[in-house]
Amino acid sequence: MEFISQDLLAYCELHSSVEDPLLQHITRETHAKVLMPRMLSGPLQGKFLEFLVKIHQPSVILEIGTYTGYSGICMARGLGPQGKLITLDVNDELEIMVRNFFEKSGLNHKIDYRIGDAMETIPTLEGDFDMVFIDADKRNYINYYNLVIDRVSPGGLIIADNVLWSGKVILKDGQKIDKDTKVLLDYNQMVQEDPRVENVLLPIRDGLMMARKI
């Protein structure tokens, strides 16, 4: 996921708002106790998501893939007084840790954290969404998009993480395409061709595909 040099990344982080003690704690705990800590959003992407929420001011955000709560806390911080974040994850082994982080954030009143299969949970949720952040199992990205697109408000956003997949989306001669890469290639093309949205793919961290519903 290193699309720019470590020196440039460090410079960007040095000239961005400082990651606060809670987010630093989540980062340390995730690296110490959880598999695949690279799944963390990190300070630059986290701050970008927070800024985006502050600018867009959604009433309801749906996050598909909570992991250890870093991105959820960043987005919840950007919400207005009546804003709500619904965040879904299938991994019940992380639930106690994540609920503890949410409690420490002081944002529990804005966060609706649910454990279960998102494909089964999303249809049970009431109302529409002003912003959706997809950062879960890659093989269901298209399914998640199809589940939420008709429930996103006009002008609402669907953001998908990891769409550059460590550069694997740039195919080389003789390269074998694994299933996750194939799904992400298909996802990016589907969004590009969807007349219901306008979109931009940003090379932030591992790639963010942003689609705005027209």
Q: Determine the Cα–Cα distance for residues 206 and 214; give it in Å rounded to an integer.
A: 26
| pLDDT (0 to 100) of residue 113 | 98
Domains and CATH numbers, the chain: 6-213 (3.40.50.150)
| The Cα angle at residue 29 between residues 46 and 87, in degrees rounded to 5 | 50
Encode pLDDT of 128-178 as tens digits.
999 999 999 999 999 999 999 999 999 999 999 999 999 999 998 888 899
What residue type is assigned to position 211 of the chain?
A: A
Of 44, 49, 46, 115, nearest to 86 by C-alpha is: 115
Residue 132 in 3-state DSSP? strand
Tell me the Cα Rg of the chain. 17
> 177 is written with which tokens?
């395409």
pTM as predicted: 0.96
Nearest to 137 by CA among 168, 161, 104: 161
Quick one: average pLDDT of 40-64?
Answer: 96
User: Whose structure tokens read 């969807």?
Assistant: 194
Q: Say what angle helices 95-105 and 21-33 make with each other, to 10 degrees.
A: 170
Backbone angles phi, psi at 2, to 5 degrees: -90, 85
H-helix or E-strand spanning residue 163: none
For the segment 111-134, the average pLDDT, to the nearest whole number, is 98
CA distance 112 to 199: 28
